[in-house]
A and B are shown apart, each in its own frame.
Chain A
Amino acid sequence: MSEFPYAIIDDSNAHHFVAGGQFATGSTGYKGWRRPEAPHAFHDNRPIADTIPRSQWHDRIKTGQGTFLSDLLKQQKIQAKDQDGLGYCWVYGSTRALEVQRAVAGLPFRDLSPESVGGPCTGWRNRGGYASEAFEQLESAGACESSFMDAPHSLHPNRWKAGWQENAKLHEAVQWVEIGASFDEVITCLLLRIPVAAGLDWWGHLVCFLDPVILPDGSVGVLFQNSWGVDWPTQGANGFATLTEQKATPDGAAAPLIVTMSDA
């Protein structure tokens, strides 16, 4: 039996990944959805009809082996994003989910700017946020290509190339759904090849969930891609790691169903 190829984050080692931990090499920025100070209402806009029963998960994961979203990312050599100091995980993970949905549609890969999504939400300040906040912006105004920015992570749109807002309109989340604190809803989306931007309160972080996986102990977990560069959690790992059910049950999450069908 081959060795499980990804880092597994569970209760025993999660502390390594939070602030100050061994692998906590990046910024976060996710504000707990259900915290009293959270300004954003949960819309209770449920995802895809019913959830897929747990009794079917293992068979469906085995049937789909090699054809989930991470396989598409690997085939297209799409590299992990790097928020590098910005507290913008909530837009980095959400924008990655939009890019993944573009890849599913067969549209050419465009490196989209999370800053063009987060900036208008925060008044161009470096602060945390929520998946639904990001997706509302992605729905109304989209994300421009990073090549419009004057520098990586720039929060100075006055220095960006003209036309970035028009370009952003070509990369919108036309239809998306919110997901509550439900692992069943997460796995249902992933089994249906719908990426999930998942906020994790225990981590204060939001990442892009990609695949349902069977972990070495036989339980079902989640393969995700982080936004801390290609060398997290280990060199060349391209941001891929897995979470157990307990760690992958989101505080709040959102998933793009339909993106703007635009080649540009």
Chain B
Amino acid sequence: MTTKHLWVLVCLSTVICLVIVGAMVKAMIFPSPAPPPIPPTPSNLRVLFLYDPLTLIDMPPAQQAILTSPELRSYLDKHCLLESSCVASSCPLDEATKTPSYRFVPKSADVSHLTPVWQQTCQAAAGKPVPWMLVVNESGQTVIDQSWPATVSETLKLLKMFGGE
């Protein structure tokens, strides 16, 4: 390699370095605008929590909190399908209200007064060891079919995987 070739190589390397450094400085001084936030997509989940009131005492306290956590209920209120409270001819006397589609069902409860879709959901979880949770998305696909997580925050984390924030 001749001296001339070396000089060409040195010059090229210098130019490339200057271009890279220039781009970095530009990015620091004039940062590109952040991408627009992704709008939350309606998740329309159907969530069943199956449990046994007679064995609640065997459940760790942090897991028991799942049963009545307002934080979890708020999430479910926002991310579960709203459906009519009317079942066959049994409607509230007042104007029918819509209810978010989540239920905490004792495993021995008679679910014949619930809507057919809820009866099917309960049927799908029948025979599973309690406490069990089953989540179906709006396409009717079962996305969660497992024991209750250990805590409220773990339950929320799990639900957010399929229901979004």
Interface residues on B, range: 35 or more
Interface of chain B, helix or strand or loop or mixed?
mixed
Contact of B70 among A63, A71, A174 (CB under 8 A): A71
In the complex, chain A residues 247-264 whose Cβ is within 8 Å of any chain B Cβ: 257-258, 260-264
Closest A-chain residue to B59, C-beta based? Answer: A192
Number of A-B contacts (CB under 8 A): 121
A264 near B68 with CB under 8 A, answer no
Chain B contacts of A106 at CB under 8 A? 76, 99-100, 102-104
B120 to chain A, nearest CB (A): 14
- Which of A27-35, A44-52, A91-99, A117-125 touches B? A44-52
- Determine if A64 is an interface residue (Cβ-Cβ < 8 Å): yes
Residues of chain A with a CB closer than 8 A to B12's CB: none
Assess the A258–B106 pair: CB atoms within 8 A: yes
**Complex CA–CA separation, A262 to B91 (angstroms):** 10
Instruction: List A contacts of B108 (CB < 8 A).
Output: 175, 258
Pick the contact of B103: A50, A66, A261 (CB < 8 A).
A261
For residue A108, CB closer than 8 A to chain B, the reply is yes
Q: In the assembly, what is the distance between CA of A228 and CA of B76, in Å?
A: 32
Listed in ascending order, the chain A residues whose CB lies under 8 Å from chain B are: 48-50, 52, 59-60, 63-64, 66-69, 71-72, 74-75, 104-108, 110, 145, 147-148, 161, 167, 170, 174-175, 188, 191-194, 257-258, 260-264
A-B contact pairs, 15 of them (CB 8 A): A48-B57, A64-B64, A66-B70, A71-B70, A72-B68, A75-B70, A104-B67, A167-B90, A260-B113, A261-B103, A261-B109, A261-B111, A263-B85, A263-B99, A263-B113
